[in-house]
Structure formats: C-alpha cells, structure tokens
Amino acid sequence: MVAMARRRKGRAMAYKAEVEARLEKWAGIVAEWEAGAMSRKAFCRRKGIPFSTFGYWRKRLREAAWGKKSAPAETAGFKPVHVVEDKSSSPGLEIILSNDIRIAVREGFEPAVLRAIVAALL
C-alpha cells in the first residue's frame, strides 16, 4: 500500500516537472516572438510551429501568470490612460503595454497601421 502511494506521488511529481519544463520551453519561444517584429503567423511559419500550438501555449502561459483560467475582469480590457505633457518637437501619443512594449504614434500616422499593430500584439 505504501509502495503504491509512493509510486503515485513519484508519477505526479514527474508529470509536474514535465509540465514545468514545457511551460519554460514555450515561455522562451513566446518571449522570442515578443522581442521581434514578426506577426505570430510569420514567426510560426519561420520556426515550423503550428499556429494553433503557438496560440495554445501562449494562452497557457498567460493563465499560468495569473494562476487561473483567465485574467481578472478589470485587467482584461483597456487600461487607464495617464496623460503626460510631451515636450518633444513632434506631438503625438505613446502607448505603453503591460509587457513594456511601447508604440509611438506621431502626427500624420495611418490608423489602419496602428490597428494592425495592436491586433498583432493582442
């Protein structure tokens, strides 16, 4: 009886270690994509990763970061905006995302380009 319990505990620990290793591996892959400028599709194509698999692990990593299935409702949408006076010569807007990605929007920008960038980051 004790031997069976130890085997079960050992298997559970091995499974947990395997899951942790996979999360760590995919965290590196997702971080590599986030650091680059490629779209998710282009990145997956270049790395030979199925797009759906990348999406699955990206979601799992977000869930692991929050410790549950989804982010709290107050953080799942738009964030509060803090307006700061810009003393630069070119008036515009800078969007800072939670993972320290910055999008600078200057006068004369193309709204369609901004939409595409934001869609790629979400």
pTM of the model: 0.47
What letter represents residue 71's amino acid?
A
Q: Is the pLDDT reported for residue 17 higher than 70? A: yes
Give the domain ranges of the chain: 1-73, 78-122
* Radius of gyration, alpha carbons of the chain: 20
DSSP notation for 33-96: HHHS---HHHHHHHHT--HHHHHHHHHHHHHHHHTSSS--GGGSSPPP-------SSS-EEEEE
Cβ-based burial of 73 (10 A; exposed 0-12, middle 13-18, buried ≥19): exposed
**Tens-place pLDDT, residues 26-76:** 889 988 888 888 898 999 999 999 999 999 988 888 887 766 555 454 445
- Higher confidence at residue 99 or residue 20? 20
